[in-house]
Amino acid sequence: MSAGRDTLVLNTGSSSVKFAVFDAQLHPRLSGVAEGIGSGGALRVGASSESLDLPDHEQALAAVLSRLADQGSGPDQLVAVAHRVVHGGTELTAPTALTATVRAKIEACVPLAPLHNPHALSAIDALAQLAPDLPQYASFDTAFHADAPEVARRYALPPEAEALGLRRYGFHGLSYAALCRRLPDISQRPLPDRLLAFHLGNGASICAIREGRSVATTMGYSPLEGLTMGTRVGSLDANAALRLVEELGLSRSKTLLNSHSGLAGLSGGISDMRRLEQTDTPETQFAIDHFCYWAIRHGHSLIGALGGLDAIAFTGGIGEHSRLVRARILNGFDWLGATPDAARNAENAPRITRDTAAVPAWIVAAEEERQIAMDTHALIATAAGG
Residue 43: how many other CB atoms lie within 10 Å: 21
pLDDT at residue 3 in the model? 54
Compute the average pLDDT of residues 43-62. 93
Residue 336 covered by a domain: yes
Percent of the chain with pLDDT over 70: 99
- pLDDT > 50? residue 292: yes
Q: Are residues 118 and 232 in the same domain?
A: no
Least confident window among 47-61, 175-189, 268-282, 295-309: 47-61
- For the chain, how big is the Rg over CA atoms in Å? 21
Residue 242 has pLDDT above 80, yes or no: yes
DSSP state of 76: G
Average pLDDT, the chain: 95
Q: Kindly tell me if the per-residue pLDDT of 386 is higher than 70.
A: no
Q: Are residues 17 and 128 in the same domain?
A: yes
Q: Please report the pLDDT score of residue 195 as a whole number.
A: 98
Q: Are 59 and 53 a contacting pair, CB within 8 Å? A: yes
Is the pLDDT reported for residue 31 higher than 90?
yes
SS3 247: helix
Contacts of 183 (CB under 8 A, 6+ apart): 191, 192, 195, 311, 313, 362, 364
147 part of a folded domain: no
Beta bridge partners of 204: 200
Does 165 reside within a domain?
no
Both 342 and 215 in a single domain? Answer: yes
Report yes or no on 104 lying in a domain: yes
Contact 22, 6 (CB under 8 A): yes
CATH code of residue 298:
3.30.420.40
Number of structural domains the chain divides into = 2
Domain final residue, candidates 140, 175, 203: 140
Is position 273 within any domain?
Answer: yes
Examine the domain organization and report whether 129 and 256 are in the same domain. Answer: no
Which amino acid, one-letter code, is at 311? Answer: A
Q: Are residues 124 and 206 in the same domain?
A: no
Q: Are strands 96-97 and 136-140 parallel, antiparallel or unpaired?
A: antiparallel
Give per-residue pLDDT as tens, 302-354: 999 999 999 999 999 999 999 999 999 999 999 999 999 999 999 999 999 99
Active site amino acids: 141
Same domain, 20 and 100: yes
58 in Cβ contact with 130 (< 8 Å): yes
Residue 6 has a pLDDT of: 95
Angle at 127 between CA 125 and CA 130, to 5 degrees: 115
> Does residue 323 share a domain with residue 228?
yes
Instruction: Note the pLDDT of residue 384.
Output: 85
Tens of pLDDT, residue by residue over 66-80, are 999 999 999 999 999
Residue 179 is assigned to a structural domain of this protein: no
**Domain stops at, among 140, 157, 180:** 140
Label residue 192 by pLDDT band (50, 70, 90). very high
Residue finishing a domain among 140, 156, 180: 140
Among 143, 113, 115, 103, smallest CA distance to 13 is for 115
Residues counted in the chain:
386
Query: Quick one: pLDDT at residue 115?
Result: 84
Say what percent of the chain tops pLDDT 90. Answer: 94
Q: Indicate if the pLDDT at residue 1 is higher than 90.
A: no
Provide mean pLDDT across the span 80-90.
97
Decide if 182 is inside a domain. Answer: no
Question: Using alpha carbons only, what angle is made at residue 78 by residues 75 and 81, rounded to the nearest 5 degrees?
Answer: 90
Q: Based on the domain organization, do 327 and 268 belong to the same domain?
A: yes
- pLDDT value at 125 more than 80: yes
Each as own residue / partner, the long-range contacts of residues 373-377 (CB below 8 Å, 24 or more positions apart, any chain) are 373/7, 373/9, 373/20, 373/22, 373/26, 373/82, 374/26, 374/181, 375/82, 375/95, 375/137, 375/139, 376/7, 376/9, 376/80, 376/82, 376/95, 376/137, 376/139, 377/7, 377/26
pTM to 2 decimal places: 0.95
What is the rounded average pLDDT of the residues 164-179?
Answer: 97
CB neighbour list of residue 218: distance below 8 Å, 6 or more residues apart: 205, 206, 207, 225, 226, 227, 235, 298, 302
- State the residue range of the domain holding 335: 190-368
3-state SS, one letter per residue, for 133-196? CCCEEEEECCHHHCCCCHHHHECCCCHHHHCCCCECCCCCHHHHHHHHHHHHHHHCCCCCCEEE
Q: 134 and 267 share a domain?
A: no
Question: Do 267 and 361 share a domain, yes or no?
Answer: yes
Has residue 229 been placed in a domain? yes
Q: Are residues 136 and 194 in the same domain?
A: no
Question: What pLDDT sits at residue 2?
Answer: 44
- With a cut of 60, say whether residue 193 has pLDDT above it: yes
Residue 214: strand, helix, or coil: strand
In angstroms, rounded to a whole number, what is the distance separating the alpha carbons of residues 227 and 135? 37
**8 Å CB contact between 34 and 59:** no
* Phi/psi at 126 (5° precision): -65, -45
Same domain, 107 and 224: no
Query: For position 96, what pLDDT does the model report?
Result: 98
CA distance 226 to 232: 9
Residue 264 pLDDT greater than 90, yes or no: yes
